[in-house]
Structure 1
């Protein structure tokens, strides 16, 4: 069974930069057409222009806004005539000690990272009526492990893992497979400040058995597989793509 995506069309949220941008490039290289749903309209347009004719931008779309999501997903479905995959990648992070974590960033983080997956997932799944669709949710190893100063982010990503299982359980009768991957430390603009701190970079590398942090292209293979015909009997699963970080605490 092929892992190629030739003739497949779908949506990647938050694909204006970082992980989403890398996945869009990889999916197109595998033969897919990709609709970029992105809050930053300029970033969406730039990404689509750089990715070429196989990409289309739907910018200014906040994944927490059901009406905006419905309009963009409907437009993508009409343009392509089908939706074979969705990658729920859009996400934010807020860092603060638990006792100093304010309520508004808590709510916003859960809204974008968890409720956004629910909103976009519903809109896309309703259009995967006559074909075996694939939904891939981008969670995090933070959904399994506690990290300092990231209470909202951790709660949201743990929720994504649980929601993935719930979606898989209910959408299986439609032939839709729903899975999640948990990136480890991936070098993107979202965490660029990590790599400007020598002590933090050493801590990161020392915590990863493979001895390096990840790059967006490290996620491409697992993501393409889980969105391809080759993953036709894989659903409800959570795969860590972290260089081995969660394999053990060490000393």
Structure 2
């Protein structure tokens, strides 16, 4: 029996470790060829693994020229993308009045502008035969959280971007899904005794959800999903 993503080509950003690594590996496990993109592969988990179907590459999602060049190279060598997962993200968490413009630009540049650049490049390839663009959001895309001015703005913006892509993609079979993710245990939580991994989602939980969406036929549109740990918002 064929795997659900056999013959499909996917690209995942922020894929060197944590949630992105889990997504890349789960898509590959379901049959896809996966371009696993990250700003740097040096010292990264995925670069040291040899996962069948996963091809690690470097990409700065904030660079328009780098994004366009990589997507063009992928298309010329492997064909047009079927799935894009916008997972690359950064966060700066502090009171609004203490947030510098450089910090604001860093967060917006990676989380929102980077997602736009990748989505635009993928959409251009998908226009002929359709495809799925999946954005990894956060509870901060629908809940106002103190200390999250830049991060929250980027995630609210990502939600808007995903919705507009759905409208623009109707006639082309391009489907966009925002998956808003609650607290997920990754390396950033290690050593913080006030947080228990058992109270959180795992990267595998997120990856399974992404792969489920990616496996759906283009006859179904999935606008938004919210996945949370059992206790809800932590």
Q: Which residue matches 1:208?
A: none
CA distance in 2, matches of 1:89, 1:98: 25
Q: Which runs of 5+ in 2 are unaligned?
A: none
Does 2:74 correspond to 1:76? Answer: yes
Structure 1 counterpart SS, 2:225 = strand
Q: CA deviation at 1:56?
A: 1.4
Distance of 1:31 and 1:3 partners within structure 2: 5
TM-score (norm 2): 0.91
| Cα shift at 1:12 | 0.3
How many residues are aligned here? Answer: 233
* 1:81-101 alpha-carbon deviations (Å, 9 max, x no partner): 231000000000011111211
Separation in 2, partners of 1:167, 1:245: 32
Instruction: Report the counterpart of residue 13 of structure 1 in structure 2.
Output: 13
Change (3 A) 1:184 1:231: farther
1:4 equivalent in structure 2: 4
Per the TM alignment, residue 103 of structure 1 is displaced from its structure 2 partner at its CA by 1.2
Question: What is the 5 A alignment of 1:1-251?
Answer: 4-42=4-42, 47-48=46-47, 50-59=49-58, 61-189=59-187, 191-192=188-189, 195-199=190-194, 201=195, 212-230=199-217, 232-235=219-222, 237-243=223-229
Question: In the TM superposition, what whole-angstrom CA distance separates every residue of 1:87-136 from its partner, at most 9, and x where no partner exists?
Answer: 00000001111121111101110111001111010111101133220000
RMSD, aligned α-carbons: 2.2
Q: Per-residue deviation at 1:15?
A: 0.3
Change in Cα spacing, 1:231 to 1:223, as seen in structure 2 (3 Å) is farther
Q: How far did residue 66 of structure 1 move?
A: 0.7
Deviation of 1:221 after TM superposition, in Å, equals 2.4
- 2:180 aligns to what SS in structure 1? strand
Point out the structure with the larger helix share. Answer: 1
For the residues of structure 2 that align with 1:238 and 1:159, how far apart are their CA atoms? Answer: 14
Does the CA contact (< 8 Å) of 2:19 and 2:207 recur in 1? no
Give the superposition deviation at 1:53: 3.9
Q: Is the CA contact 2:199–2:230 (under 8 Å) kept in the aligned structure 1? A: no
Contact 1:23 1:217 in 2 (8 A): yes
